[in-house]
Structure 1
Amino acid sequence: MANARSFAIAAHAGQLYGDAPYETHLSAVVLVLRDFGFDDSYQDAGWLHDVVEDTSVPLTEIREQFGDTVAQMVDACTGLGPTRHDRNVRIYSGLRACPKAAAVKLADRIANVEAAPPGSEHRARYLREADAFAAIVRPHVPPAMWQRLEQAMIGND
């Protein structure tokens, strides 16, 4: 099996997360997963969660390199479509089909909120989406993990 971290960093080469290399965001997602005891397949999906969405790597390559479980989680977290609404509809549908991917998506959201500057449009967008996100994600994640998102939302005022 390939190394998910190396694969993701190579796939996102040249992309930025704010002013930092994209690896910064991916690492933050994986650290959140580790904080809540999620194992290697979850961490692999954490490294890879944006690869299909943000690069030219197809899901078939993720499946070939990392197996069905990781590919299913990555697919469930992948937002494709012309609008944010369309992307969210796809993600929510994917999370319904693969509920274990909710932990990866929540780790992604936690990392994004913790990195969002106070008063930013990013934070405002996450607040607007909070109810729909909670309805899909919250039933499938540890309560303490959900509380971390709530704390991050409050702490970013």
Structure 2
Amino acid sequence: MEDARSFAIAAHAGQLYGGKPYETHLAAVVQVLDDFGFGEEYCQAGWLHDVVEDTPIELAEIRSLFGDAVAAMVDAVSGIGPTREVRNARIYGGLKACPAAAAVKLADRIANVEAAPAGSEHRARYRREADEFEAVVRPCVPPAMWSRLERALA
């Protein structure tokens, strides 16, 4: 897992998340996955989940370095496209094709919501997207993990 961590930190070098190094967000995603007992491939995907979406690195490199299972999860959660609607549609299609990736996407959403200030536009956007997100993600994740998102959004 250390290889994925190092790779992701290098790939996101110079990027910020809420004014902090991007590593802060990635570590929060991996912590959520670890909190619910997800194993190494999930945690690798957690470190790498934004690499294809936010850096020039291509999925083929992720696949060659980390294997097919990790690459499939990263691909499934990569929101690529010109608008949030298009990016979300790509992710929802990816999660339907690779249900295992739903845990990574939920960990990402939990980390984002927990980091967003109460009353922020970020939280409001996640609430607006909640029904569609729930329809795709909730059937594929542990109930306790889903409950954590609900608590964070409350």
The residue that corresponds to 2:44 in the other structure is: 44
TM-score normalised by structure 2 residue count: 0.99
Aligned ranges 1:124-143 → 2 under 5 Å:
124-143=124-143
The residue that corresponds to 2:13 in the other structure is: 13
1:144 counterpart = 2:148: no
1:28 counterpart = 2:28: yes
The residue that corresponds to 2:70 in the other structure is: 70
Report the residue type matching 1:79 in the other structure: G
**1:79, 1:88 within 8 Å by CA — same for their partners in 2?**
yes
Report the residue type matching 1:105 in the other structure: K
Shift of residue 2, structure 1, vs aligned partner: 7.6
- Describe the SS at the equivalent of 2:67: helix
Question: CA deviation digits over 1:40-91, x for unaligned, max 9?
Answer: 0000000000000000000000000000000000000000000000000000
1:92 counterpart = 2:105: no
The residue that corresponds to 1:3 in the other structure is: 3
- Describe the SS at the equivalent of 1:3: helix
Shift of residue 119, structure 1, vs aligned partner: 1.0
The residue that corresponds to 2:53 in the other structure is: 53
Cα distance in 2 for residues equivalent to 1:60 and 1:2: 20
- Describe the SS at the equivalent of 1:56: coil
Cα distance in 2 for residues equivalent to 1:40 and 1:55: 23
Structure 1: state its 5+ residue gaps. Answer: none
Structure 2: state its 5+ residue gaps. Answer: none
The residue that corresponds to 2:121 in the other structure is: 121
TM-score normalised by structure 1 residue count: 0.97
Shift of residue 118, structure 1, vs aligned partner: 1.1
The residue that corresponds to 2:101 in the other structure is: 101
Aligned residues: 154
**1:2, 1:65 within 8 Å by CA — same for their partners in 2?**
no
**1:30, 1:46 within 8 Å by CA — same for their partners in 2?**
yes
Judging changes above 3 Å, is the alpha-carbon distance between structure 1 residues 57 and 2 closer, same or farther for their aligned structure 2 residues? farther
